[in-house]
Amino acid sequence: MNDANPQGLDLQNIGKHFTMGGEELHVLNGASLTIAPGEIVAMLGPSGAGKSTLLHIAGLLDRPDTGEITIDGQACGSLGDTDRTRIRRTAIGFVYQFHNLLPEFTATDNVALACMINGVSQKDARKRARELLEILGLSERLEHMPTQLSGGEQQRVAIARAMANHPRILLADEPTGNLDENTADTVFDALITLAREEKVAALIATHNIGLAKRMDRRIVLHNGRLEGQPVSG
Ligand SMILES: Nc1ncnc2c1ncn2[C@@H]1O[C@H](COP(=O)(O)OP(=O)(O)OP(=O)(O)O)[C@@H](O)[C@H]1O
Ligand SMILES: [Mg+2]
């Protein structure tokens, strides 16, 4: 890794505002962050601080007003939509608070479809899906439909789907926010295990301080900027 061409996820001086009813709301004001491959970072900050906004920008779902996003050495700011979509599909995994699984497909197919969108054969995609679901403790649930799975199991399928294409970056927006404490722990363990195994650079927004303390590093979004937080904090 060198500074000019950082691997993992690098955000520099990200600014973003929204205009609502003639009022300008400056949500991000020069947020900067570097996450190395294999590093798992918790993003804390009160409701409305801009965590989801920053994750959308890092995930190339939205464009910032200022700043640069570099993903595994590739600067993304000046890229057109086609290239951004390709990077999003191949290099970025996203986990949301609500799993967004396709209701008419099994657990295996929900994961396999993510690979097949990238041109992987059905056979290889299903093999990758089974491998991930087994790591996540779902080997007895491969052919279950989403409605036949518990909330925690559904969320583990969503994590498998996010990791299906061997992403370099994993972005998660309150991935356990919708689960009870014990289930959140199990799902979080699964997420961490997989993130470490695949050496992704992971940025995870959470309101759960206990889970945040188990990650490698904590940062707080405050006044539109990212600040480090000591472990004991
Ligand atoms: N598309 C939009 N148009 C106008 N304002 C927006 C838009 N998206 C977000 N905002 C505003 O930006 C601010 C940050 O929102 P964001 O969803 O990023 O916060 P958050 O930190 O994720 O909060 P939470 O912890 O509640 O999920 C909020 O005040 C929100 O109202
Ligand atoms: Mg949010």
Q: What is the pLDDT of residues 147-168, one digit of tens each?
A: 999 999 999 999 999 999 999 9
Inside any domain, residue 89:
yes
According to the 3-state scheme, what is the secondary structure of 139-195?
Answer: CCCCCCCHHHCCHHHHHHHHHHHHHCCCCCEEEEECCCCCCCHHHHHHHHHHHHHHH
Both tokens of residue 113?
A: 């479809």
Using the mean position of ligand 2's atoms as its centre, give its distance from the Cα of residue 138 in Å.
28
Which among 20, 26, 29, 52 is the best mutation to test ligand 1's pocket, defined by most ligand atoms within 8 Å of the CB? Answer: 52
Inside any domain, residue 132:
no
- Reported as a single tens digit per residue, the pLDDT across 14-38 is 999 999 999 999 999 999 999 999 9
| CA distances to 26, 38, 97, 176, 209 from 182, in Å | 37, 25, 16, 10, 15
Res 233: pLDDT: 41
Please tell me if the CB atom of residue 19 comes closer than 6 angstroms to any atom of ligand 1. Answer: no
CA separation for the pair 47, 70 (Å, rounded): 26
Q: Quick check: 62 pLDDT over 60?
A: yes
Give every CB contact of residue 224 below 8 A, 6+ residues apart in sequence. 15, 26, 27, 28, 29, 30, 31, 50
Inside any domain, residue 102:
no
Neighbouring-strand partners of residue 162: none
Give every CB contact of residue 64 below 8 A, 6+ residues apart in sequence. 14, 15, 16, 28, 57, 77
Strands 74-75 and 66-71: antiparallel
Whose C-alpha lies nearest to ligand 1, atom 25? Answer: 47
Q: How confident is the model at residue 3 (pLDDT cuts 50, 70, 90)?
A: low
Contact 107, 171 (CB under 8 A): no
CA separation for the pair 160, 190 (Å, rounded): 9
Residue 220 lies in domain: 9-97+151-229
Whose C-alpha lies nearest to ligand 1, atom 13? Answer: 48
Inside any domain, residue 199:
yes
Both tokens of residue 72?
A: 């595994």
Inside any domain, residue 35:
yes
Inside any domain, residue 183:
yes
Using the mean position of ligand 1's atoms as its centre, give its distance from the Cα of residue 63 in Å.
15
Whose C-alpha lies nearest to ligand 1, atom 5? Answer: 18
Residue among 201, 152, 214 nearest 177 (CA): 152
Using the mean position of ligand 1's atoms as its centre, give its distance from the Cα of residue 52 in Å.
7
Number of domains in the chain: 1
CATH of the domain at 163: 3.40.50.300
Inside any domain, residue 139:
no
Inside any domain, residue 207:
yes
Which ligand 1 atom sits nearest the alpha carbon of residue 56?
A: 18
Please tell me if the CB atom of residue 224 comes closer than 6 angstroms to any atom of ligand 1. Answer: no
Which residues are found with C-beta within 5 Å of the ion, ligand 2? 51-52
